[in-house]
Chains A and B, each alone.
Chain A
Amino acid sequence: MSKTSENPQTKHLVGRRAWRPAWPARPDRVLHRRRYFGTKRSVLKLSGQFNPKTLKREVVLTDKKPMFWLFGLFLLVAIPTAVGSERFLSLFGIICIYASINVMWTLIMGTAGLQSFATLATVGVGSYGAAYLSITFGLPWPLMLLVGLVLGIAMGFLISLPARRLDGLYYALLTLGLSEFCRNFVTQNEALGGKFNGALFGSARIVPSDMMTTRLGQTLAFLTTFIVLLVALAVFRWMNGGRIGLLLKTAATSKEDEAFASAIGIDWQRARMIVFMVASGVLGALGAFYSTYIGGTSLQIFSLDLLLLMLAMIVIGGLGRAEGAVIGTVIVVGITQWFTDWGPWRIVLAGALALLSVLYTRNGLFGLKEQMREIRTRRQALHRAAQTTKYAEFLPQQAPDIHDKSIIAGRTFERELREKLRGWITPEIIEEHRRSPLGQHSDHLERILNYFRKGPLPDKYAVYTEVPFQSYRVVALSGMPGVPPRIVDDKTYGSLDEAYHAVFMRRINDLKAS
């Protein structure tokens, strides 16, 4: 038995307050929020509060996400650097590159809402263009990145042309074929290494190839990939979290949304194109970076399987979220690059993971929390709906205008009570009342009478004495001061007991009809 359940005070916990990191505030300083340069957005969401236990002021981090990001990125850079083996460094290098590509893809699919599968085609064009120019004209690596950027933007422009006209689905299919076509083109083009099965080698590298045999060189190469990932994340944040991302969120999900966005004056098409161009430029530059990283490029970049693997990464992590893209990449690349001795089975495993997450989760790993919450709410709602079969006048959802829920509870109780009393009304009870309206009664009759007595004043029946001991009538009270009772029918009764019983019968009938 745990200690908490014995303690009567903690027995009825109704929820737990989320833990938030807090630290003492400097009493001499006003809480100062740092902002990103040139914007009004704060770096960390901080708020000041007074701690009732320590009686001190403290600063609280309201949004914990940056903490997890920092921790995750720290692990990503620390593990390989600390281990330092060549295999580890290259594994994490590839993770960083793929993660950056996926983050950009997420930007296109999530933020811009364009279902484009031309990601790897753009990367490949940047990669091949930069490698080719570097091999033929001896371009140094900074120029290669620039060439990649320009090629990416050009490619993005070309691909975006049909996007304005086409529906999402059509566009997805159109772009899916693109990388296969690029692959064909390269295979049949001699200058691009068609002879060597599309492999181009010997381009410039950021870390010179003679250094790549040392641990220092490998670490440096890995660090460049990490910096690239940071750049990609920064671009994502800049676009997705900025004004343009906000504009696009208005037009995000459906045709109606788009119409609505247009109606309130948002040029979402333009915003979408800007995001798409920026992402494509970065993708092209990423391709060029890939060439500088491995000192060339190969046809693998255009293969459908790689595209599908990248899609699997995004799907496993959760579509539309940068953290999903990174985590998904870590998982899938981890499986496919680490367990190389499994052969094709590792790709089967990755595909199966993607399949499972699409079959059973709504939005990958990072959508799980929301999904669980939704399942819970639905269960509760169904349970509540099933429960109300017998007792409730109406569901709380159906009476949204009643804010005081005790009124609903009160009516529910009344209904329950009436139902019970109705079951007790028998000829015997009525006969008993007829015999002696006043005095001691059986338990059931007494309870019924009590219920009648506590009824509300308006329309309550009463006995009116026309002539004492001779003629009585049944009246209904108005319930308002100054307004006389109304006579309910033209019957007169010879004795008080008869009148009492007549009132009783009226109430019984009302109870039956309610």
Chain B
Amino acid sequence: MSILKLTGISAGYGPMRVLHDLDLTVEPGERLGLVGLNGHGKTTLLSTIVGLTGWQDGSIIFEGKEIGGRRTHGVGRKTPGIVRSGIALAPQGDAIFPGLSVKDNLDSGAYTSASWRSRKRRRDSVITVFPPLGKLLKQSAGTLSGGERRMVSVGRALMSDSKLYLVDEPSLGLAPKISMGLVAALCEIDIGEGAMIIAEQNLPLLEGRVDRMLGMHAGEIKLDVGEALGDVPPSAGGMH
């Protein structure tokens, strides 16, 4: 059984429609790269899965349970429930808690009581993925640099025992070297029977690291990028 199955997803904000009737299936143990230019719907697709778009339509089946459906208002009202059912999102712009310490930020990711009890172990495993965070635990998250904030945001997502990890633009706004390290670390995480979707503009960062790559263009999923790199929207051309 596939872990996530999207059928006929349309979504947008107000009169604007961003996603056009797209289908996507993610298998267990799969690391999926989602590439495409700015404004072609990558972020919206990830937001749609957790119910953060203005309106949406279409079926989203996560582990055999329907979490999508038609919705025209109540942005984010279902999000906590969806997140609790096992989908962790590291959103664009990080959305970390600036007044809390890095430790508290990470702990806040462990929202189920089981993961809360084992939060120390989880924190340690996040630190093995992102070693720089180890020294920053006591520091307030508002004072971190861009790369560190991104690590906190992704680390917070890793603190949960989710089945599906959604990472939005891990390289956005970071120096190439830092983003390289970050993505490399992301791609080495053991996801077991879960799955991970990484949305990314920078194609070479993901090449060879993910199991499957899809291109997004104008709100639709294009061919597998592996077969038809030339078909991928200008991003590919721009990057090479």
Minimal beta-carbon separation of A417 from chain B (angstroms): 19
Of A126-134, A305-313, A377-385, the one contacting chain B is A377-385
- The residues of B that contact A385 with a CB separation of less than 8 Å are 10, 12, 15, 17, 55
Task: Give bound CA distance, A385 to B19, whole Å.
Answer: 10
Is B16 among interface residues, defined by CB-CB distance under 8 A?
yes
A389 touches B21 (CB 8 A): yes
Q: Within B11-45, which residues are at the interface with A (CB < 8 Å)?
A: 12, 14-17, 20-21
Task: Give bound CA distance, A397 to B55, whole Å.
Answer: 16
A388 touches B14 (CB 8 A): no
Is A135 among interface residues, defined by CB-CB distance under 8 A?
no
B17 touches A378 (CB 8 A): no
- The residues of A that contact B57 with a CB separation of less than 8 Å are 386
Q: Using an 8 Å CB-CB cutoff, how does the interface string of A99-142 with B read, 1 for contact, 0 for none?
A: 00000000000000000000000000000000000000000000
Task: Give bound CA distance, A157 to B16, whole Å.
Answer: 48
A382 touches B55 (CB 8 A): yes
Q: Using an 8 Å CB-CB cutoff, how does the interface string of A296-328 with B read, 1 for contact, 0 for none?
A: 000000000000000000000000000000000
Q: Within A370-417, which residues are at the interface with B (CB < 8 Å)?
A: 377-378, 381-382, 384-386, 388-390, 395, 397-398
Task: Give bound CA distance, A386 to B12, whole Å.
Answer: 11
Known: A386-B57, A389-B21. A381 touches B10 (CB 8 A): no
- The residues of A that contact B10 with a CB separation of less than 8 Å are 385-386, 389
B17 touches A395 (CB 8 A): yes
Is B72 among interface residues, defined by CB-CB distance under 8 A?
yes
Task: Give bound CA distance, A454 to B96, whole Å.
Answer: 58
- The residues of B that contact A389 with a CB separation of less than 8 Å are 8, 10, 20-21
Task: Give bound CA distance, A177 to B57, whole Å.
Answer: 48
Residue of A whose beta carbon sits closest to that of B70: A386
- The residues of B that contact A386 with a CB separation of less than 8 Å are 10, 57
Q: Using an 8 Å CB-CB cutoff, how does the interface string of B148-186 with A read, 1 for contact, 0 for none?
A: 000000000000000000000000000000000000000
**What size tier do the contact residues of chain A reach?**
10 to 19
Residue of A whose beta carbon sits closest to that of B218: A394
Task: Give bound CA distance, A378 to B17, whole Å.
Answer: 13
Task: Give bound CA distance, A397 to B21, whole Å.
Answer: 17
- The residues of A that contact B17 with a CB separation of less than 8 Å are 385, 388, 395, 398
A378 touches B14 (CB 8 A): yes
From B8, B20, B21, B72, A382 is in contact (CB under 8 Å) with: B72
From B8, B16, B72, A397 is in contact (CB under 8 Å) with: B16
Task: Give bound CA distance, A386 to B8, whole Å.
Answer: 11
Task: Give bound CA distance, A257 to B15, whole Å.
Answer: 25
Residue of A whose beta carbon sits closest to that of B15: A381
- The residues of B that contact A378 with a CB separation of less than 8 Å are 14-15
Minimal beta-carbon separation of A411 from chain B (angstroms): 14
From A381, A390, A398, B14 is in contact (CB under 8 Å) with: A381
Task: Give bound CA distance, A381 to B12, whole Å.
Answer: 11
Minimal beta-carbon separation of A104 from chain B (angstroms): 37
- The residues of A that contact B21 with a CB separation of less than 8 Å are 389-390
Task: Give bound CA distance, A385 to B14, whole Å.
Answer: 10
Task: Give bound CA distance, A93 to B15, whole Å.
Answer: 49
Minimal beta-carbon separation of B171 from chain A (angstroms): 28
Task: Give bound CA distance, A386 to B71, whole Å.
Answer: 12
- The residues of B that contact A397 with a CB separation of less than 8 Å are 15-16
- The residues of A that contact B55 with a CB separation of less than 8 Å are 382, 385
Task: Give bound CA distance, A395 to B12, whole Å.
Answer: 12
Task: Give bound CA distance, A381 to B72, whole Å.
Answer: 11
- The residues of B that contact A395 with a CB separation of less than 8 Å are 17
Task: Give bound CA distance, A255 to B14, whole Å.
Answer: 24
Residue of B whose beta carbon sits closest to that of A395: B17
- The residues of B that contact A377 with a CB separation of less than 8 Å are 15
Minimal beta-carbon separation of A399 from chain B (angstroms): 12
- The residues of B that contact A381 with a CB separation of less than 8 Å are 14-15
Minimal beta-carbon separation of A205 from chain B (angstroms): 56
Residue of B whose beta carbon sits closest to that of A386: B57
Residue of A whose beta carbon sits closest to that of B72: A382
Q: Within B204-227, which residues are at the interface with A (CB < 8 Å)?
A: none
- The residues of B that contact A388 with a CB separation of less than 8 Å are 17
Task: Give bound CA distance, A306 to B72, whole Å.
Answer: 40
- Counting chain A CB atoms within 10 Å of each CB, the highest count among B8, B12, B17, B72 belongs to B17
Task: Give bound CA distance, A384 to B14, whole Å.
Answer: 11
Minimal beta-carbon separation of B133 from chain A (angstroms): 35
- The residues of B that contact A384 with a CB separation of less than 8 Å are 15
- The residues of A that contact B15 with a CB separation of less than 8 Å are 377-378, 381-382, 384-385, 397
Residue of B whose beta carbon sits closest to that of A381: B15
Minimal beta-carbon separation of A408 from chain B (angstroms): 15
Task: Give bound CA distance, A385 to B15, whole Å.
Answer: 7
- The residues of B that contact A398 with a CB separation of less than 8 Å are 16-17
Q: Using an 8 Å CB-CB cutoff, how does the interface string of A459-503 with B read, 1 for contact, 0 for none?
A: 000000000000000000000000000000000000000000000
Minimal beta-carbon separation of B40 from chain A (angstroms): 13
Given contacts A378-B15, A398-B17, 9 further A-B contacts (CB under 8 A): A381-B14, A381-B15, A382-B15, A385-B12, A388-B17, A389-B8, A389-B10, A395-B17, A397-B15
**27 contacts across the A-B interface (CB closer than 8 A):** A377-B15, A378-B14, A378-B15, A381-B14, A381-B15, A382-B15, A382-B55, A382-B72, A384-B15, A385-B10, A385-B12, A385-B15, A385-B17, A385-B55, A386-B10, A386-B57, A388-B17, A389-B8, A389-B10, A389-B20, A389-B21, A390-B21, A395-B17, A397-B15, A397-B16, A398-B16, A398-B17
CB-based closest 9 A-B pairs: A381-B15, A385-B17, A389-B21, A397-B15, A395-B17, A382-B72, A385-B12, A389-B10, A382-B55
Binding site for B on A (CB under 8 A): 377-378, 381-382, 384-386, 388-390, 395, 397-398
